[in-house]
Structures are given as C-alpha cells and as structure tokens.
Chains A and B, each alone.
Chain A
Amino acid sequence: MSTVVQVPLRYRIPWKKIALYVLAIAFGLYLVLPFYWIVAMSFMHEADALSVPPHWVPVNPTLENYLGFVNPNSAQELVGGRAVSETPYSLRNSLVVASATAVLNLVLATFAAYSFSRLKFKGSQVLLVLYLLTRMVPGIAIIIPFYLLMRQFGLLDTYLALILSYTTFALPITIWILKDFFRSVPRELEEAARVDRCGWFRTMWSVFLPVAAPGLVAAAVFAFMTAWNEFMFALFLTSTKAAKTIPVVAANFATDFNTQFTVMAAAGVLAVVPPLVLALLFQRKLVQGMAAGSVKG
C-alpha cells in the first residue's frame, strides 16, 4: 500500500528581497534626510530647531528666516549679520557667474568637440588627453598664480575673474562630454541637410545642434554646477558682495561665532533652488533619446 506524501507548500520568506529593500531605503534616507532637515529647519524658529529631542516637522512654521535676507531683524543683524545681508547679492553673483560660465563653455566646447568628433587630424587624441590632464592638477597648486594673474589684470573681485577660472576647469570635461555625444549623432543627418540645400552654418543651426540638444544641455548643466559649487577660487578671487558667490557667503555663516542655524539653513535652501530648477527644467531633455527615429531603428 502506498501513501501519497503531501509536502506542504512552505511559504518562504524572501530575505534577499527584504534585505535589498531595507538597504535601498536606508541609502535613500541617507541621501534625502540631511536635505530634508535643512529645508525643515529653514522654516523653524531657532529655539525649535535646537530643541532635544528634535522636531522633525516645524511646529510653528515661519518665513522669518527667509524674510531676514531682505529685511533682517535685530537678532539677525547681530548674529551673522554680514553673511545675512550678503546672501541675496551672492545668489545673484552665483547666478550670473554660473550662467555665463555655462554659456561660454558651451560655445567654446561645441566648436572644439565638433572638430574632434568629425574631423580627422594628427594629434587629436593627444590633444584630448592633454585637455583632460589639465584637470589632474589640483586647484590649490594653481590658485596663487591665478590670483596674481587676476590682480595683474585688475580683475580681482569681478565676475570675469570667476568666469574665466571656471571656464578653464569645466572646458576640458565639457569637450569630452560633447565629443562623445556628437559622435553619436549620425553623420547622414548633416549630409541630408546639405542635400536639402543648407550651408554649413544652417546645417549646424537647424539640424545638428537641435539633434545634439540633450548633450548640450548636459554639458551646460555640468558647467553651471561646476561654477555654482566652486568655493576655493571664489574665496581667493573675491572679497566683497560685488562678486562673492554663495559658497563663500555660506561659509561665512559657519565661521561666525554666533551662527544662527535656521538662517543658515534658509541660505542653504536658497543655494539649492537654482540648480534644482535648472535640473527640473531640463530633465526631459537630459533623458530624451537623442536621435530616436532619425535613422534605421
């Protein structure tokens, strides 16, 4: 007599999956929490921000910290006053410098990258590597010569000093980004434009650059961010609110003896807004399939 042994279907706990999710969530929190904290803190009163245990959500939300940049109250005047009053200017400076750097970079890098991607000439590989090598030199090694140079030209504490410096940092990488991007644009598109009666300039303007737009946006965002985040050169080359950028002013908050954390948080949030807006604005372009549908798929 035989019996059929019924093996009960055991429910297996998916440990692997759980572990994966836990790790993913933990990593997400690690990235997001600090940012969340400065955003939350920027809407808190100083006393709430420093309370123990901390309030994770502002209990008495206030715009005081933000209004302080325009119209500082007496407490804000007292603690970190200079940084507070300089913040709006530094934001403007940062915007101007970063935008100008992005544009200048884009124009120069487009010409260079197009040549590298489309023309065959002796030494092109060597040049490309050389460009990248310039980025291997630590900034600290060239800051003093830069400083002297800028002083010589009377450019200290001007936008131009920063824009020129940042362009030298960003340009090699921008050229590399664009060169690879341009290579992936089918050459036939340009040829089709030529046959469609476009001259060289028109081919570039009406066909090549629009197709390469996602690459151009990526390169511009990169250059903008490089300029926006840069601290050391800004510290050396600027001294007043005429050209100080947000990283320098933000550092002033930290070095102030009586730092008001909530105001500092508000400054931090303000510093994040422009790049964030930029990223959101161009996000679609950045991820867009470049030449989808143009050539055989």
Chain B
Amino acid sequence: MAEVRLEGITKSFGSKLVVDDLNLTIRDQEFLTLVGPSGCGKSTTLRMICGLERANSGNVYFDGKPVSWLPANKRDVAMVFQSYALYPHKTVRQNIGFALKMMRVPKATIDEQVLQAARTLDIEDLLDRKPRELSGGQRQRVALGRAIVRDAGAYLLDEPLSNLDAQLRVLMRAEIKRLHVDVARTFIYVTHDQVEAMTMSDRIAVMRDGIIQQCATPEEIYERPANRFVASFMGSPPMNFVSGRLADVDGVRMFRSDALTQEITLYGDQPADAEVVLGVRPEDVSLSPTPVAGYRQGRVFVSEPLGPDVLVTVRIEGELVKARVPTPFRLGHDAPVYVGFNPQRLHLFAASDGAALQAPRQEAVA
C-alpha cells in the first residue's frame, strides 16, 4: 500500500530538459496513467519513481517517506517493462519467482505464490517453458506475473501493451484493469495510447515536454480539457479546431472565422476582438443532407465507416471538419451536406497559449 508523491522533480539528460518541476500525488490504490506523445518525459518519470533514474532535483516520497536516494532494489516497487525484459535463461516459473527468491522468501511459499499468480493470469501450463517458447501475449502475461507475485507498494507499468496486436491489447487492457481491482494496489501506468489511458485509469496525467498539462479523471479530461493540447491528444478522432476571433454582433457574443460564424453562449472574460480557437468533438457535430437553420453548407470530403458510426470529413470553405454520425450515412464524395455544432458542447481556447477559455458546462456532462 503506498501513496506516491513527486515533489518538484526535474530531470535533464545533458542539456535536454526531460521533466520540468513535476508535482504529482498518486493516491494509495489509485490507477494513475501518465500519457503523452513520445519524448514527453512520462517513461523517465516512471523510472525516477522506481529508482532506475535519479532526479536532478526534487523528491520522491512513498507514504510520506523520501526515497529519492534509495536504489531500485531498495524501493518497494514492482515494474512491467515495455520490452517485458524476461530473463531468457530462466523458466517462466523462475522468472516470476525471482524477486521472491531475492527477498529470501521460503521456497514453498514462492512456489505457492508463483502458482497463484500464474492462475490469475491463466499461464499455469506455461510455467516450465522458457521465454523464447512463448508468444508475445504470453510473454506479456509473464511480465505481469513477475510484478503481481510481489507484495509491492506500487506497481509501475511502462507501456506494457504496446508490443501486442490490436485484439490482444483490448483483451489485456480489460485484464489489467480487473487485476488492479483484485490486487487493490497503487498502479502507475505509462502509455502514449489515449484509449488505454481513458479506459483504464482512475486519473490521467497528460504530459507534454516534461510538464503535466492536466491531471484529472478521464471524464474531466475529455469534457473539460485544460488546454488545446489535451483536447487534441485525448479523444479519437481528435477534436476539430477552427481558428477565428470573438465578435459582438447585436449584443450577442459570436465566434467568427472565414468558414463559419457560431454563436457562443458561454465565454470567459476575453475582449470582443480576441483571437481564439473553437473546438468541437466529432461526436458533437451533426450532419444533414437538407438545409437546417444555423447549419453551414459544406461538401463531403471523405467518409470512413467504423461499424456503428461513420466518420465523415466535411470541407467547409477550406476547413476540414470531422463528424462522427450514426450509420448509415449515404452521401457520396463531394455531395453537399449541412453541418451543425452542438452549441452546448463547444470548447474555446486562447489562440496565444492554447489555454481553455470555455468548456461544456458541468451539467451538460451526462
């Protein structure tokens, strides 16, 4: 059981600043995901938590105790590596039991715990094989087994699913989430896959250039992204952005761009002429084959069926807007189509720094 707290962590490799004054508290038994594009410092942060990397400044605390100067083998953590890092010369049984052996746990207890972990992961029949005889998915399970067999304070997972095929990834995603519930420990998970982050986490910390952009629940991140980066990174397909300006027309606050004019019902204290970016998620865009009041005309650029939905890209005055509409969608390429934005679900960001100026209202969140 452990609460992990990072306080003012800074790390650079040579002249490259990788993590910049990072503050984060991961609660006991929480599933927290660090997510961000490659090179955003998420893996480095994880490595500093487990002691494989030392911060240039700042401190790491486990349950309030500073551990910054403890090497990895003295910290109470278990880790799943992206590459699995299974010991090739040891059997699955030895791989899973290795940490316990190092902790001088009696052999009978090791055997029992290894078997239990193997049962949890459904790899009992693989215990006497060597890693090279396993498939990718099986190796991944063994790597997980090596972590969960331990009674560690925190479990660190560094992109554990990134080497699996899409189908297996979906399956393991659910299994890891369930595992977290079963073992009831602190999980810190690193991924660049926003779907993994959204589906598995209690909270998500979105990182970019070594800085946490926002740390909140998946719903909060999705509904009220703190800035344009979070808005674009979280959500697939990503949010549509249209650059324009605020304008007051007949006492009504409007958003105006070359392509469209949109009434804004909520806004921050931005001056009337401020440069802003309007954001709308594809599922908040509606399409109609016939003109509707308040809809703008565009033309179908391309449509991509996803099964239950169709992802339609519409060109409006040179801007491409993606809409996610229910199947069926029967308009062909270049057919005229009318596009409307759900006014309750609009996001507004400052053009200068991308900070969120407005997000859907709390009560709009279903």
Contact = CB atoms under 8 A, between A and B. Distances in A.
Contacts of A294: 84-88, 131-132
Nearest to A196: B99
Contact of B88 (A191, A195, A206, A211): A211
B327 interface: no
A191 B72 contact: yes
A192 B79 contact: yes
Interface stretch (A22-30, A252-260, A285-293): A285-293
B170 interface: no
Interface string B80-117: 01111111110000000011001100000000000000
Interface in A250-297: 289-297
Interface in A188-207: 188-189, 191-199, 202, 206-207
B83 A195 contact: no
A128 interface: no
A186 B120 CA distance: 28
B128 interface: no
B131 A293 contact: yes
B77 interface: yes
A210 B83 contact: no
A196 B73 CA distance: 6
A206 B90 CA distance: 10
Contact of B87 (A197, A207, A290): A207
B169 interface: no
Interface in B114-143: 130-134, 136, 139
A290 B81 CA distance: 19
Interface string B133-171: 110100100000010000000000000000100000000
Nearest to A290: B88
B78 to A, nearest CB: 7
B71 interface: yes
B50 interface: yes
B81 A192 contact: yes
A291 B139 CA distance: 14
Contacts of B139: 293
Nearest to A292: B132
Nearest to A293: B132
A114 B131 CA distance: 25
Contacts of B52: 191, 194-195
A210 B99 contact: no
Contacts of B78: 195
Contacts of A207: 87
A49 B72 CA distance: 69
B103 A197 contact: yes
Nearest to B52: A191
Contact of A296 (B79, B88, B130, B136): B136
Most buried by B among A199, A202, A297: A297
Given A189-B87, A192-B87, A196-B102, A293 B134 contact: yes
Contacts of A290: 88
Q: How large is the interface on A (under 10, 10 to 19, 20 to 34, 35 or more residues)?
A: 20 to 34
A213 B89 contact: yes
B132 A195 contact: no
A117 B306 CA distance: 49
Contact of A188 (B85, B132, B134): B85
Contacts of A206: 98
B98 A196 contact: yes
B99 A197 contact: yes
A211 B146 CA distance: 18
Contacts of A189: 85, 87-88
A188 to B, nearest CB: 4
A197 B152 CA distance: 11
B163 A296 contact: yes
Nearest to A190: B85
Nearest to B140: A296
Contacts of B88: 189, 211, 290-294
A186 B86 CA distance: 10
Contact of B85 (A186, A202, A297): A186
Contacts of B50: 195
Nearest to B152: A195
A32 B3 CA distance: 69
Contacts of A199: 73
A198 B318 CA distance: 60
Contact of B136 (A191, A194, A210, A297): A297
Interface in A168-203: 186, 188-189, 191-199, 202
A292 B90 CA distance: 12
A197 B132 contact: no
A266 to B, nearest CB: 41
Given A293-B132, A296-B136, A195 B86 contact: no
Interface in B2-48: none
A142 B285 CA distance: 84
Contacts of B86: 192, 293-295
Nearest to B50: A195
B102 A295 contact: no
Contacts of B131: 292-294
Q: Which 4 A-B pairs rank lowest in CB-CB distance, beginning with the nearest?
A: A293-B132, A293-B131, A188-B85, A295-B83
16 contacts: A189-B88, A195-B51, A195-B73, A195-B77, A195-B99, A196-B73, A197-B102, A198-B102, A207-B87, A213-B89, A293-B130, A293-B132, A293-B139, A294-B131, A295-B84, A296-B136
